[in-house]
Amino acid sequence: MLSMMKLVNNTGQKSEKNICFVNTSLQLLRSIALVKDFFQKRLYRSGNDGRNMPICDELSRLLSNSGQFSASALRSLVGRSSEKLYLCDGTQQDPVEFLTILLQQIDKEIPLGNWDGKVFLQKFWGLEKTERKFLNNYGGKCTVCKALPRIEEENIHILRLNIPDTGSVVTLNSIIE
């Protein structure tokens, strides 16, 4: 069963309080017990050399709080630290892009000496590379310019999930847990 968070300031207008996409990311992270535990217990601080970890600390506060809260501070921290200031301008943004940027910023904040923290993050990162080749019926070359078709590469960050080898029915929730 998912743990519900009471979200506030969830509007569609251009405003600092327009944080629907942040709340979506927080709901996802909170629904994964491993992630929630990692931030509630502040395990990201292991091996910290005294560095400032504002995004991890804010995420810890948000995932530990069972009452009302506003995630606009997290939105601003992520936007400024990633230098993607459009995240801070009060407009609606893509929740998947925000989650990806959030995870990247968390990775930057966790010190290299925190091996457990780095290994923890790797459980949720993957990179898939796809290559698309455009073919034609004219011997592989353009009939006008005689050039080969272009090849496009696309890197896709994915959330890796291990699927258990079991004979019983597996749900997405059980895989995430």
Quickly count: other Cβ atoms within 10 Å of residue 59's Cβ: 28
Residue with tokens 């590379």: 129
Provide the strand spans (E) within 38-169: 126-133, 151-158
Residue of 24, 28, 41, 158 whose CA lies nearest to 95? 24
Q: How far apart are CA 42 and CA 146, in angstroms?
A: 60
End-to-end Cα, the chain, rounded Å: 11
What are the pLDDT tens digits along the chain (177 aa)? 344 554 444 444 455 567 888 988 888 888 888 888 999 998 888 876 678 899 999 999 998 875 556 688 899 999 999 999 999 888 888 888 899 899 989 989 988 888 888 888 877 766 565 665 555 555 667 777 777 766 666 656 556 666 777 888 888 777 766
Three-state SS at 131: strand
Model confidence, pTM:
0.65
Residue 78, CA distances (Å) to 3, 13, 55, 58, 67 in order: 24, 20, 7, 10, 22
